[in-house]
Amino acid sequence: MKFLLGDAVDRNIAFQVALSLMTVVVTIGAVDFIFLVLSELSDISDSYKFIDVLIYCVSKVPYSLYDLMPYLCLIGVMVGLGNLSDQGELVASKILGKSNLSILLSSIRPILVFLLLGLIASEFWLPGLSQKAEESRLLKQEVINSDQGYWLASSEGFSYFRSTPSKNLIEDITIYSIDSEFKLLEIKKARKAILVSGDWKLNDVEVENISEGLILEDKEMAWKTGPKDSDFNLILSPKYFPLSLLKQQMSNDVSEYRRNLLALEFWRKLLQPFVALALILLAASFIFGPMRDQRSGQRIIIGIVLAFGVNIIKSLFESISMVSNMTPFVAVITPIALILLIGLFLIKRTKVIS
């Protein structure tokens, strides 16, 4: 237990960094929420009310925070260690026998917990929450048309559905049944379809028989050719896919563009903790080096500017990989390597690790 938590000095450093990290997360989350609400106000209508805006923004913020995790860690460590330095606790820790390296390792402990929670959330919770938020928003704004919905082919014919808030619910479905000569036989329209015990059930169904000109209505009907999980994986954006699904989809027979898109998301999410650790190493070179005598406000500004610059570089490399021969792995690992090299150079120059 002592190996994991350290002694009283290590726990104090870890607590201060954890407290700073939580403050940064809450602050950035609140600012992001406010700006999201302001950006959505212009879209308010009879169908997309203010309460819908609030629900969408609350559902959207967790993924935004997950996407910003490395930068939140950077600012959290800079603020936490900076406050300890201002209060003279870093000097006291060194008097008690703590080296810069041990102080840095103590500050990383809460960061590792935060990164682990982020990975778990991105695997099990965030994908469904984010996808549902986006789909519900588009539905209530009434901006989804036939060009923005989803089309699927099956043994029955072709199916179109306007929205899929989750893999268990589909809304506004139209099913076109055709024969072997591609002649239209029947059109089914349903308000929604629900997956129950592995079987799709159509609700509020209207069936039009083309040859006989008959229109029948039914409250519920089985949909035997409804989409499978693999169908959803081909049409939904990889942005919200968990790591396990991204890895699975990369090996499937898909277009080269989508394979690159899946690979880019996979490596971005898998290596995100390493981006955070590389940034923390860079932050340590500032905290123990040239910024040790600066005020907390200056450190925060420098941390934000640094995070903004790194994010631009990452986005640039990722964009280049989608239009060139650069592989997604190289596009993601290159900025990390650059940050590490700069951090190690500054640490060696300022003799931080002593």
Please give the Cα distance from 290 to 111 (Å, whole number).
23
**Is 301 contained in some domain?**
yes
pLDDT at 88 > cutoff 50: yes
166 closest CA partner among 192, 202, 204, 189: 192
Asked if 90 and 314 touch (Cβ cutoff 8 Å), the reply is: no
**What is the percent of the chain where pLDDT is above 70?**
85
**Is 252 contained in some domain?**
no
The per-residue pLDDT for 218 is 77
Tokens encoding 31: 């600012």
Last residue of a domain, one of 187, 217, 237: 237
Please report, for residues 2, 25, 190, 212, 220, the alpha-carbon distance to residue 223 in angstroms, rounded to integers and kept in the order given: 58, 45, 10, 22, 10
Task: Label residues 331-349 b or e (16+ Cβ within 10 Å = b).
Answer: bbbbbbeebbeebbebbee
Helix (H) and strand (E) counts in the chain = 13, 6
Provide mean pLDDT across the span 67-93.
83
**Is 278 contained in some domain?**
yes
**Is 326 contained in some domain?**
yes
Provide mean pLDDT across the span 191-206.
85
* Residues 23 and 121 placed together within one structural domain of the fold: yes
Provide mean pLDDT across the span 165-191.
80
Q: Find tokens 């606790």 and name the residue.
A: 89
**Is 112 contained in some domain?**
yes
Provide mean pLDDT across the span 136-148.
60
Please give the Cα distance from 213 to 209 (Å, whole number).
5
Tally of CA atoms within 13 A in the half-sphere of 315 that contains its CB: 8
Please report, for residues 13, 73, 84, 205, 268, the alpha-carbon distance to residue 18 in angstroms, rounded to integers and kept in the order given: 9, 10, 12, 54, 24
Asked if 350 and 288 touch (Cβ cutoff 8 Å), the reply is: yes
SS3 per residue for 2-63: HHHHCCHHHHHHHHHHHHHHHHHHHHHHHHHHHHHHHHHHHHCCCCCCHHHHHHHHHHHHHH
* Residues 119 and 186 placed together within one structural domain of the fold: no
* Residues 288 and 337 placed together within one structural domain of the fold: yes
Per-residue pLDDT reduced to its tens digit, 9-52: 778 888 989 999 999 999 999 999 999 999 888 888 887 888 98
**Is 248 contained in some domain?**
no
* Residues 79 and 196 placed together within one structural domain of the fold: no
Provide mean pLDDT across the span 179-196.
82
Range of the domain at 114: 2-134+271-350
Largest CA distance in the chain: 92
Number of domains in the chain: 2
* Residues 20 and 106 placed together within one structural domain of the fold: yes
The per-residue pLDDT for 114 is 92
* Residues 305 and 346 placed together within one structural domain of the fold: yes
The per-residue pLDDT for 296 is 62
**Is 256 contained in some domain?**
no
Q: At what angle do helices 69-86 and 8-40 cross, to 10 degrees?
A: 130
Residue 342 φ then ψ, to 5° = -65, -45
* Residues 13 and 105 placed together within one structural domain of the fold: yes
Tokens encoding 105: 């390792």
* Residues 30 and 121 placed together within one structural domain of the fold: yes
Edge-first strand order for the sheet with 157-166 is 150-153, 157-166, 169-178, 184-196, 199-209, 214-223
Helix ranges (H only) for 209-294 are: 229-235, 243-250, 256-270, 272-287
pLDDT at 146 > cutoff 50: no
Indicate the pLDDT class of residue 294, thresholds 50, 70 and 90: low
Last residue of a domain, one of 219, 237, 255: 237
* Residues 62 and 155 placed together within one structural domain of the fold: no
Provide mean pLDDT across the span 340-349.
78
**Is 142 contained in some domain?**
no
Q: Which of 245-249, 251-255, 301-305 has the highest mean pLDDT?
A: 245-249
Indicate the pLDDT class of residue 186, thresholds 50, 70 and 90: confident
Look up the pTM and report it.
Answer: 0.74
* Residues 75 and 102 placed together within one structural domain of the fold: yes
* Residues 163 and 120 placed together within one structural domain of the fold: no
Last residue of a domain, one of 220, 237, 254: 237
* Residues 303 and 330 placed together within one structural domain of the fold: yes
